[in-house]
Chain A
């Protein structure tokens, strides 16, 4: 097997030698060497990230089959954005407007909801003797796949018409209390919120774990000092604890925002995007078979929406590193 090892490393050492001969002896590594170290990672990135991204970008300017320019799909006498025709669809089609609105709703309601829930549980768990047990229970949904969660919650939201007994726990409770069963998933006025509850249920445990670790890191001396000085718990939390754990809250917020922008599974399993619950990723999935151009345009839009959050994340990470 020496042979294998030899064969693998020979070209690299040979090249390094070559380069080494060309530059002053004091810089043994040469300018090319770092690039050579990067090469394996770069190849992987090229094959699995860069190439598909460029391909997606290219397809987003093509028609439904990915062969002609998107401009060819323009209908005479109707609005047309030329090669940006797929983007016109993405930004003006009524279904897409609903999807964009719903993605914004998810972002605005579910992210704060999940963080508030996670923080609430983390604070409560911090103060009880059976903390581990409580946290394990809250964390459990994280282990469940989105698909599984969707199926579980379809039972929770189940609605039976006519004389059928309500087997869904929510409608079971409502009818037991003498109320009328609610169509949780098919009523456009509430269906989005029904789905978001599932999202919160899934991710609150994740937030709780992250924030709980941060809370544990808050120095007890400061907390005690504040309490001795007469601060009530409300003030202790908002004036001391929250500013201390803020970096963790920001991390959780950005991570969740990226996850939520891509929300798909819950919607796909529970309503299929019907009843006013359409989201971008579900639309993208539905279009991929029949209209590559539009589908990839949506993918590009999702990437564009995600990039600022990622840049923010990286910047914050760098400044944190610098502060250390």
Chain B
């Protein structure tokens, strides 16, 4: 009996330790912000208030009182979370509100939270909460959001059932092409401004013996092909326009429509022939998407252009530290697009308490937009952000975004599974030689099924 009992004691001890660990982990996850906030508020606020207060417009705290608390959920972590915290800090300092943040990428975690204790404000990189929690979300115009600071297409995008429920706080632009200005100058190429000019340029490069494109599908197995579907979507935005793309997303235009077939035909020619892209079809399918970027800026360069989102600039800078942005590498808007393709992080409100309203008012207002730009955290769709970026790539991206006539999500992301899987698989098959019409018909079946 004695040995039995010691075993129980040990087991019990282990359980206690495990319980403590679990408890402390839970604690740590939820109280990250408060531990940091009070000290910062105490030490930094007075000096900063003294130096910058006269210049910056005041933050409207509305009826939020000092000591109020606020819970937010977002997916950002690491440097992204830090950037967001620098944007939040002036608000926390000015209003004395403590923001408690939780970072998760898990839809299931969010779902559990929303169904038990929803956060006051949610930031999410897609609009799925719009469908899932439409009965719990509050209309943003009732919680002090400033509609006037956003282009109308943003409001339309975030509206459901006649209510405005979501507004993007951060956008990423995908419709850009990276190139080397030095190479372009050496061969006498000029940056194209229409889709036809792009096609002419591509043919000219081939005639000169240069390889125009560098393409890479390899994403490490899962989601191989997303760089291809991004490219096709930009072709669609140039040849058909944003409304057409949005109609694909809502299902009124089938993915096997003639316009899509045309886009795939152009893309297949560029992506599967060694004259047009590095290594032909095998190169496109097997090259890792990061390597595809490097091939344009390596010495000697293997290709003239690569279509890739804004992050490519950072990748090039990391791989080739000696290259300079603006001369050795630069980007231009995908020629002729009538609207942009990209991603956005949206803000949703679950609570109308004063602190939540103050935060929403801040982020959608003048000061919030300016501070977002100063943090160089993606591009803010808030009109007040323009002119406040310090990073040259952000300045250029923001000018592209601010004159955009529309904005479309990645079709695959927006429609979801099983469409996105079929789309990725389909473009790989097409580049490997499959019949375009037959492949698109299969994808269209998945499109209809996903939208059911």
Q: Are A271 and B221 in touch, CB under 8 angstroms?
A: yes
Tell me whether B293 is interfacial, beta carbon within 8 Å. no
Tell whether A161 pairs with B283 under 8 Å between CB atoms, given A272-B222, A274-B428.
Answer: yes
Least CB separation from A275: chain B residue: B428
- Residue of B224, B300, B418 near A291 (CB, 8 A) is B418
Q: Which of B395-443 contact A (CB under 8 A)?
A: 416-418, 421, 424-425, 428, 432, 442
The stretch from B1-9, B135-143, B243-251, B366-374 touching chain A is: B1-9
Q: Are A183 and B282 in touch, CB under 8 angstroms?
A: yes
Q: Are A161 and B224 in touch, CB under 8 angstroms?
A: no
Q: How far is the CB of A109 from chain B (nearest CB, A)?
A: 21
Q: Are A291 and B417 in touch, CB under 8 angstroms?
A: yes
Question: Once bound together, how far apart are the Cα atoms of A290 and B452, in whole Å?
Answer: 13
Q: Are A2 and B1 in touch, CB under 8 angstroms?
A: yes
Residue among A94, A159, A274 with the most chain B CB within 10 A?
A274
Least CB separation from A4: chain B residue: B8
Chief secondary structure at chain A's binding surface: loop
Q: Are B302 and A5 in touch, CB under 8 angstroms?
A: no
Q: Are B9 and A272 in touch, CB under 8 angstroms?
A: no
Tell whether A269 pairs with B221 under 8 Å between CB atoms, given A1-B8, A159-B286.
Answer: yes
Contacts of B203 in A (CB 8 A): none
Tell me whether A162 is interfacial, beta carbon within 8 Å. yes
Question: Once bound together, how far apart are the Cα atoms of A270 and B222, in whole Å?
Answer: 9
Question: Once bound together, how far apart are the Cα atoms of A273 and B219, in whole Å?
Answer: 13
Interface extent on B, as a size class? 35 or more
Tell whether A272 pairs with B302 under 8 Å between CB atoms, given A1-B8, A2-B5, A161-B286.
Answer: no
Tell me whether B291 is interfacial, beta carbon within 8 Å. yes
Q: Are B278 and A162 in touch, CB under 8 angstroms?
A: yes
Question: Once bound together, how far apart are the Cα atoms of A223 and B300, in whole Å?
Answer: 67
Contacts of B280 in A (CB 8 A): 161
Q: How far is the CB of A8 from chain B (nearest CB, A)?
A: 8
Tell whether A274 pairs with B425 under 8 Å between CB atoms, given A5-B1, A161-B286.
Answer: yes
Question: Once bound together, how far apart are the Cα atoms of A272 and B283, in whole Å?
Answer: 18
Q: Are B286 and A186 in touch, CB under 8 angstroms?
A: yes
Question: Once bound together, how far apart are the Cα atoms of A164 and B283, in whole Å?
Answer: 11
Least CB separation from B107: chain A residue: A289
Q: How far is the CB of A163 from chain B (nearest CB, A)?
A: 6
Tell whether A268 pairs with B4 under 8 Å between CB atoms, given A159-B282, A274-B425, A290-B417.
Answer: no
Q: Are A162 and B5 in touch, CB under 8 angstroms?
A: no
Q: How far is the CB of A274 from chain B (nearest CB, A)?
A: 5
Q: How far is the CB of A99 from chain B (nearest CB, A)?
A: 13
Q: Which of B279-307 contact A (CB under 8 A)?
A: 279-280, 282-287, 291, 295, 300, 302-303
Interface extent on A, as a size class? 20 to 34
Question: Once bound together, how far apart are the Cα atoms of A187 and B280, in whole Å?
Answer: 14
Tell me whether A175 is interfacial, beta carbon within 8 Å. no
Least CB separation from A1: chain B residue: B5
Tell me whether A286 is interfacial, beta carbon within 8 Å. yes
Q: Are A272 and B279 in touch, CB under 8 angstroms?
A: no
Q: How far is the CB of B54 from chain A (nearest CB, A)?
A: 52
Q: How far is the CB of B248 from chain A (nearest CB, A)?
A: 19
Tell whether A4 pairs with B5 under 8 Å between CB atoms, given A164-B291, A183-B286, A275-B428.
Answer: yes
Q: Which of A137-181 contact B (CB under 8 A)?
A: 154, 159-164
Least CB separation from A267: chain B residue: B221
Q: How far is the CB of A276 from chain B (nearest CB, A)?
A: 10
Tell me whether B223 is interfacial, beta carbon within 8 Å. yes
Query: Which residues of chain A have a CB within 8 Å of any CB of chain B?
Result: 1-2, 4-5, 73, 94, 154, 159-164, 183, 185-186, 188, 268-275, 286-287, 289-291
5 smallest A-B Cβ distances: which pairs? Answer: A161-B279, A161-B283, A272-B221, A272-B222, A290-B417
Query: Which residues of chain B have a CB within 8 Å of any CB of chain A?
Result: 1, 4-5, 8-9, 107, 211, 220-225, 278-280, 282-287, 291, 295, 300, 302-303, 416-418, 421, 424-425, 428, 432, 442, 452
4 further A-B pairs in the complex, CB-CB below 8 A; given A5-B8, A274-B221: A5-B5, A270-B221, A274-B425, A274-B428
10 contacting pairs across A/B (C-beta < 8 A): A1-B5, A154-B220, A160-B287, A164-B291, A183-B285, A183-B286, A268-B222, A274-B425, A274-B428, A290-B418
